[in-house]
Chains A and B, each alone.
Chain A
Amino acid sequence: MKQFLIALIVLGSLILTGCPKAKKTVREFKEKSAEVTIYARNLNQAFNKAFIDGVITRDELRLYGTVDTAFGKALAAYRAGIEAAEKVVNETGELPKDTILKVDRLLDSVVTAFLDLTVKLGVMSFAQSETVRTILRGIQMLLLSLKAFVADARGAYGLEVNYV
């Protein structure tokens, strides 16, 4: 009986120390998902309005749309990955390393798709403006900070960190 109680205490301690860390990681993944969605929504709305007002051409809106569509697919996969990771945490109290790596790869594809979007914006005629170039660099820095976040998450789980 005594051994059983000790085992229960040890198991409880493991769950109490492991679970918050896993939940914190899932929460951070969710925050990044919401943040990147905010920017994508705002850009979409700005470009739609610009087209309606005659500021950009149909071809420019279409070019923007092709990249945003790719970004949207990556984002949908990332959101599904977070949902699956949260389910694992709720069921087991832990976030397995392979789940972290999977969500990490999905976030990476989201970031890559968004970076592609900023590159495509950079070749449009309006991007000759220094202001736009500065803004695009700002977005790219934000995206690179997301990569740094993933590196932190990997480091916290003792995984290999190979981001710049």
Chain B
Amino acid sequence: MSDIFRGFEIARRVAEAIAAGRIEAAAVGDMTDEQLAEFDKDVYAEYLASQKEREDLLAEPTPPEKPEE
């Protein structure tokens, strides 16, 4: 995968992640205290799960490079 394509692709993904976050973050102010507590609990659990997923991904052994043909 070329660096130009990688750059474009990760930029698109980061942009999507932030845009989706903006929509969710905008709704936080309208929540009741109970809704906010529940929402915050869920988001934080998902955040911790994403950290765990990253640790698992990084712990996986690197696949051996294919010999050049």
Contact = CB atoms under 8 A, between A and B. Distances in A.
A61 B55 CA distance: 10
Interface string B1-44: 10100111111111111101100110011000100110110011
Interface stretch (A2-10, A44-52, A107-115): A44-52
Contact of B36 (A30, A50, A127): A30
Contacts of A105: none
Interface residues of B, number: 39
Q: Is the interface of B mostly helix, strand, loop or mixed?
A: helix
Interface stretch (A14-22, A93-101, A128-136, A152-160): A128-136
Interface string A47-69: 11111101110100110010011
Q: Is the interface of A mostly helix, strand, loop or mixed?
A: helix
Contact of A42 (B3, B21, B54, B57): B21
Nearest to B40: A34
B25 A50 contact: no
Contacts of A56: 6, 10
Nearest to A82: B40
B57 A48 contact: yes
B29 A31 contact: yes
Given A31-B36, A39-B18, A48-B54, A72 B47 contact: yes
Given A30-B40, A34-B40, A37-B43, A135 B15 contact: yes
B58 A58 contact: yes
Given A39-B25, A125-B3, A34 B58 contact: no
11 contacts: A38-B24, A39-B21, A42-B20, A43-B17, A49-B13, A50-B9, A68-B54, A125-B3, A125-B7, A132-B10, A132-B14
